Amino acid sequence: MVATKKSPKRSSEQVELERLVAGEHSEPHRLLGAHPGKQRGKDGVLVRTFHPDATAAELVRPDCEPLAMTPQGDGGIFSIFIPDTKLPMPYRFRYRFEDGHTWEQEDPYRFLPTLGDTDLHLFNEGNHWRLWECMGAHVRTIDGVAGVSFAVWAPNAVRVSVVGAFCNWNGRRYPMRQMGSSGVFEIFIPGLLPGEFYKYEIKTPSGDIRVKTDPFAFSMETPPGTASRVFASSYQWNDREWMERRPARDYAREPVAIYELHFGSWARSDDGRPLTYRELAPRLVEHVKRFGFTHIEPMPLAEYPFGGSWGYQVSGYYAPTARYGDPDDFRYFIDYCHEHEIGVIVDWVPAHFPKDDFALRLFDGTALYEHGDPRLGEHPDWGTLVFNFGRHEVRNFLIANALYWLNELHVDGLRVDAVASMLYLDYSREEGEWIPNKYGGRENLEAIHFIQGLNETIRIHAGGSIMVAEESTAWGGVSRPVEEGGLGFTFKWNMGWMHDTLLYFSKEPVHRKYHHNDLTFAMIYEHTERFIMPLSHDEVVHGKGALLSKMPGDLWQQFANLRTLLAYQYTRPGKILLFMGTELAPWYEWDYEWPLDWTLSQNPERAALQRFMEDLGRLYRETPCLWRGDADNFGCSWIDCHDSDNSVLSYFRRDGDEYAIIVLNLTSVPRDEYRIGVPLPGLYVERLNSDDLRYHGSGYDTFKEIHSDPITWQGFDQSIRLNLPPLAALVLIPD
């Protein structure tokens, strides 16, 4: 029998060092850095460092000669024991490399964590409302040493490292420490500067290596690059007065006319590139003020990889897209808008995120931000992943993100995309493709809880912000306060009105009497919610045709129909949203790869349309009865909604004792001596006529001033006679 030689028993410390060299250690600060120690009966400090590419290392202390460190094996670990020394002890490392060059650095592993127990507790609980201040990358100076701290949530990772050009993207160089059971990994790296690109290298439980962008990155590489970028804002805001007024605003009783746009295709520079945030600001603000808009609503600006998603598949929730500049350039854009009394609402996408492997998908090798079960975690329509709203940290990530845009970037509101897909577990799913809630129903209880928590948190911590739901179903109480059982949004997009109205206007006028209900039906549910009436980007893409091309008839009739549609939108209850280009009336659909054709403004019909929209916007802003009573039952009343044979609608808007009369003739047949009832006797003055020659109308002769008659009509004691132009809207104001 031959005796076998046993391997020497390794100490636990040796095992841990081997794990560190192998890139499998989640607590490198326990081994690396300076620690109290004892050797040969003497107290002192043991200092250890790890650099996988170094051939030698020295400890450099102030006012001392460099001390050579002893290699521990050949894996890049070096150590030294300094007797009769106590901590804290300032020092640096000098590394020597095979090619002969040297490099010095402060020790990343001698600094205390930059997150406290309170931060971690609140995050794990889901209630850290300034989460961006401790997560992500932050330029800091600690103990007089400048550098960047990093913190990321990856609870199932075996090891997480910061990687970048500063370490040749080597994940063994800067492993992070795991902060107890919180799932958060942290490190402070001295010497890094703003502008550094970085990612996180994550070793998963299965042993795979995943390289991820930072979910909390404030800035990212310009697509198609996907790295995160260290960024420290130096912007000095000039909108203090605006921000101080914001919490007291009641947008339900203010004029709200929103100009929706896609930044990259609104306009281009002379050489064909998209305008930057700073270039766009003065041109866009001048343009929207010309037409009387109160707010700008960009489509999503959080960083996204694929231009064809228009921003609706987000990879960097805390980073304004680098396509148009850095985050301070974006701050300038917001600031400029506020200085000129224009608010900004940004599209925000908490419903889903893309499957791009560099971003949130399987972040630490497990379904972390998403559900593991595809019946809950995948969106069949968009090929995206659904957030796990039942997870405290995921809810916190999203709600803190909303607060970041509202409070740190000074955005005035968020239009929450795809709310319907969040509310229903069976959204776009067939039987067997979804899992009922605990009561057997189709409502997504976790998403409802998230939405209510989102809106209530914003009400408390970002008061005066506008929260808008893009919600296309009959879900009740979308804009009702949370304490009354609602979802808590400020407004809801009225998708039903948009659909029915465009359907009606697409009909030949001779057939409209059979579709009269399409225009009147929305008033039945008008006061169940606080509504925004959108004519949005969704209606001018994917084969639906441009807004002008939806209108029937010859060119004159198409423009007349479009003017009447806009007058109807501006004068009925609800706030207003128009997509960019409505003022240009192009024939073609919107294409994100091409800018608007601004030469269309030189066309006579379109120049006339712009004059009409200028006057319509001014009338809206200057006439409180067109907006102050939007949320009240008495703010709008029919005069006559039953004249389907003539396709004429008449109604009045009221604000206290002030009111306006609106009459729509929706056929190409003029109606002379058309009588309508009016609330009070007196003189009525024509304030807007969409058929005016200035607007390229027919110039049909109307009464500019009309005295009421004591003739009972349509339930009123007084009435007036009107000449109604073809395909036109009249707005009359009592003198």
- Walk across the sheet containing 136-142 and list its strands: 136-142, 145-153, 184-190, 177-178
Integer CA distances (angstroms), 526 to 188, 285, 400, 578, in order = 55, 31, 33, 19
- Using CA atoms in the order 305, 306, 309, 310, what is the torsion angle rounded to 10 degrees? 80
Q: Name the strand (E) or helix (H) holding 516.
A: helix 516-520
Integer CA distances (angstroms), 388 to 327, 383, 414, in order = 28, 16, 21
Catalytic hit among 297, 326, 378, 470: 470
- What residues contact 146, with CB distance under 8 A and at least 6 apart? 139, 140, 190, 191
In three-state secondary structure terms, 261 is strand
417 catalytically annotated? yes
User: If phi over 0 gives left and psi between -120 and 50 gives alpha, with beta otherwise, what is residue 169?
Assistant: left
Structure tokens at 148: 């960047």
Report the alpha-carbon distance of residue 385 to residue 388 in Å, rounded.
Answer: 9
Report the chain's terminal Cα–Cα distance, integer Å.
119
Structure tokens at 22: 């192998």
**Which is nearest to 87 in space by CA: 29, 33, 142, 13?**
33
In three-state secondary structure terms, 20 is helix
In three-state secondary structure terms, 733 is strand
**Which is nearest to 179 in space by CA: 29, 397, 45, 71?**
29
In three-state secondary structure terms, 52 is coil
Q: Count the neighbouring beta carbons within 10 Å of the beta carbon of residue 383.
A: 11
Report the alpha-carbon distance of residue 492 to residue 468 in Å, rounded.
Answer: 6
In three-state secondary structure terms, 514 is helix
Report the alpha-carbon distance of residue 478 to residue 685 in Å, rounded.
Answer: 39
74 catalytically annotated? no
| Cβ–Cβ under 8 Å, residues 637 and 655 | no
Report cis status (omega within 30 of 0) of the bond before 354: no
Catalytic hit among 214, 370, 417, 692: 417
678 beta partners: 718
Catalytic residues: 417, 470
